[in-house]
Chain A
Amino acid sequence: MLESLFRAEIRGLTVQRVQGHGGETERVETYRGATVKMGLSEKVRIEIGVSDHFVAPTVEAILRSARTGAVGDGKVFVLPVEKVFRIRTGEEDEAAVTPVEGPAAL
């Protein structure tokens, strides 16, 4: 999925390993005679900040590449962002999320 995002010209994202569950059935594990239901599964949470006109291509890239067809694929939430600043340059809003070309970028 990361490759798919790269192809869609997305150049910045944050990834977190989280735990959660959707509608999946719970896994059962056994430890030395104790049966345990694992209520939470390992998941990945990704945050991507994009300009308005990039929202559709980004969502489409994620939906296309992350879909496995199984319950537990997850969701994409599109949230409004008030303001964005690039820390390195102080640029705001659209300029902040426009990727900077060149080898020194990122």
Chain B
Amino acid sequence: MNSADIAWMLVATALVLLMTPALGFFYGGLVRSKNSLNTMMMSFAALGVVAMAWAAAGYSLAFSGEGTWIGNLGHALLRGVDLAPHGTIPHVLFFSYQGTFAIITAALISGAIVERMRFAPYLVFLTAWGLLVYAPLAHSVWGGGWLSRLGALDFAGGTVVHVNAAAAAGVAAWVLGPRKDHARQAMLPHNVPFTLLGAGLLWFGWFGFNAGSALGANASAALAFTNTLFAPAATLTVWTLLDLSRGGKATAVGAATAIVVGLVAVTPAAGLVGPLSAIAIGGVAALPSYFALLWRARTRLDDSLDVVAAHGVGGAVGALLTGVFAQKAWNGASDGLLFGNPRQLAVQAAAVAVTAIFSAAMTFAILRAIAIFLPLRASVREEGLGQDVVQHGEEAYSHGEGAILVLPEPGAPSLPAPVVALGTGGAS
């Protein structure tokens, strides 16, 4: 084992974990204030149930065994996950690091289904999805499964994380149906500074996501780190110029989105392409996502926070461009289209397609199965009241006026009846 590698991977794991609360802020700022806590809770909840599912069986299904598309239960309940080396770091650290990936991938889906899903079925969904969708895809691409044997290149998760989550998100948005106010009312972000904060923290954490995928403190990590800095910078620049040249203003929400799109696009390529290629990838990736976003706004699909446009289109573009720009001179292993290997692009396309189809189909099945036992969607009235109050019994921005403390009666059970705040806000 190698102290430098361990030290870096410890930091990287913490950085990736930070990305999930950051996602909470990113998404939370974009919704209406009456749903802000619920939206953030959808990210924070993943920190609980997905991590538990990962420890129970997810890790094992992803990284244990030689299966074609799924692993075995050899490491279920952390059997055999100990301090012995896994590469140059302790096994528990590799297990932890990969766990943070599972957490954020599942949380990403929430962006498409905000403001209208009941919380309990959402928790069940996260758990099932982590085990039945994330683990097999992680195994297929990173755990020795068939996509890796096919030669698919995915340095840090363009397919496993982004195309996967986006396909699931699109399906989930479609299954749940649009919000009642969608295409009828103007629904504005209630806190754009939160979204900017989230984008900034996501970028910071993403250095752990991409550079940590080198699994060591080495040259590959340095390359991934550099690319993770400059590709989103290119995306942000191009996006801003697009906004300005189309006669609009360079919006903060646009900037935050551009940063995420750039990070998504460079994720599969991070340790595999040179920095100039990364800048090209970042700049190019701005365009499809930008127009995908505008197009989606004109459809009836209420992918509320544009997970498909940012993560799906961005991830697919990044994965394909990995097949174009991969360079053995930089990564020591594979070349892409521009360096004499056109087959790579075809393999990348196949990986993206398979991931999207598998994720979409499984997500559909999981949601339908849950819906048999638990209604997925809040009622129209509940949607009007706001999910914070309905799902969580809390208000994000309560002033406390009109709140009346309810004291327990003597001899009654210990929990007092819920406090009903009569004050500010209400349905808006």
A→B interface (CB under 8 Å): 29-34, 36-37
Q: Is the CB of B251 within 8 A of A33?
A: no
Report the bound CA distance from A37 to B294 in whole Å: 18
> How far in angstroms is the closest Cβ of chain B from A59?
32
**B residues near A30, Cβ cutoff 8 Å:** 248-249, 251
Nearest-CB residue, chain A, relative to B292: A33
Q: Is the CB of B189 within 8 A of A31?
A: yes
Q: Is the CB of B188 within 8 A of A32?
A: no
Q: Is the CB of A36 within 8 A of B188?
A: yes
**Beyond known contacts A30-B249, A37-B186: 6 more, CB 8 A cutoff:** A30-B248, A30-B251, A31-B253, A33-B293, A34-B297, A36-B188
Q: Is the CB of B186 within 8 A of A36?
A: yes
Q: Is the CB of A33 within 8 A of B249?
A: no
Q: List 17 A-B contacts (CB under 8 A).
A: A29-B188, A30-B251, A31-B188, A31-B251, A31-B253, A32-B253, A32-B293, A32-B297, A32-B306, A33-B293, A33-B296, A33-B297, A33-B298, A34-B186, A34-B297, A36-B186, A36-B188
> How far in angstroms is the closest Cβ of chain B from A38?
9
Report the bound CA distance from A30 to B248 in whole Å: 8
- For the A-B complex, the count of residue pairs with Cβ-Cβ distances under 8 Å equals 24
Q: Is the CB of A32 within 8 A of B248?
A: no
Is B254 part of the binding interface, using a Cβ–Cβ cutoff of 8 Å? yes
Report the bound CA distance from A29 to B296 in whole Å: 18
Q: Mark B240-259, 1 if CB is under 8 A from A, else 0.
A: 00000000110101100100
**B residues near A34, Cβ cutoff 8 Å:** 186, 297
**A residues near B297, Cβ cutoff 8 Å:** 32-34
Report the bound CA distance from A31 to B381 in whole Å: 26
List which B291-332 residues lie within 8 A (CB) of chain A. Answer: 293-294, 296-298, 306
Q: Mark B346-379, 1 if CB is under 8 A from A, else 0.
A: 0000000000000000000000000000000000
Q: Is the CB of B249 within 8 A of A32?
A: no
Report the bound CA distance from A37 to B185 in whole Å: 11
**A residues near B257, Cβ cutoff 8 Å:** 32
**B residues near A32, Cβ cutoff 8 Å:** 253-254, 257, 293, 297, 306
For the residues of A in contact with B, the DSSP-based class is strand
Report the bound CA distance from A30 to B257 in whole Å: 14
Report the bound CA distance from A95 to B254 in whole Å: 58
**B residues near A31, Cβ cutoff 8 Å:** 188-189, 251, 253
> How far in angstroms is the closest Cβ of chain B from A48?
24
**A residues near B294, Cβ cutoff 8 Å:** 33
Report the bound CA distance from A36 to B251 in whole Å: 14
Nearest-CB residue, chain A, relative to B186: A36
Report the bound CA distance from A36 to B186 in whole Å: 7
Which 9 residue pairs across A and B have the least CB separation, nearest first?
A: A33-B297, A36-B186, A33-B294, A33-B293, A34-B297, A32-B253, A31-B253, A31-B188, A30-B248
Report the bound CA distance from A31 to B253 in whole Å: 7
Q: Which of B186, B189, B294 is the most central at the interface, judged by chain A CB atoms within 10 Å of its CB?
A: B186
Report the bound CA distance from A36 to B189 in whole Å: 12
**B residues near A33, Cβ cutoff 8 Å:** 293-294, 296-298
Q: Which of B248, B297, B306 is the most central at the interface, judged by chain A CB atoms within 10 Å of its CB?
A: B297
List which B277-296 residues lie within 8 A (CB) of chain A. Answer: 293-294, 296
**A residues near B189, Cβ cutoff 8 Å:** 31
Nearest-CB residue, chain A, relative to B297: A33
Report the bound CA distance from A34 to B257 in whole Å: 14
**A residues near B248, Cβ cutoff 8 Å:** 30
> How far in angstroms is the closest Cβ of chain A from B423?
16
Q: Mark B139-151, 1 if CB is under 8 A from A, else 0.
A: 0000000000000
**A residues near B296, Cβ cutoff 8 Å:** 33
> How far in angstroms is the closest Cβ of chain A from B190?
11
Report the bound CA distance from A36 to B188 in whole Å: 9
Report the bound CA distance from A29 to B189 in whole Å: 12
> How far in angstroms is the closest Cβ of chain A from B386?
19
List which B174-225 residues lie within 8 A (CB) of chain A. Answer: 186, 188-189
**A residues near B249, Cβ cutoff 8 Å:** 30
**A residues near B186, Cβ cutoff 8 Å:** 34, 36-37
**A residues near B188, Cβ cutoff 8 Å:** 29, 31, 36
> How far in angstroms is the closest Cβ of chain A from B191?
13
Report the bound CA distance from A49 to B249 in whole Å: 44
**B residues near A36, Cβ cutoff 8 Å:** 186, 188
Report the bound CA distance from A29 to B188 in whole Å: 10
> How far in angstroms is the closest Cβ of chain A from B48?
30
Report the bound CA distance from A37 to B306 in whole Å: 22
Nearest-CB residue, chain A, relative to B192: A31
**A residues near B251, Cβ cutoff 8 Å:** 30-31
> How far in angstroms is the closest Cβ of chain B from A37?
8
Nearest-CB residue, chain B, relative to A33: B297
Report the bound CA distance from A21 to B253 in whole Å: 26
Report the bound CA distance from A29 to B306 in whole Å: 19
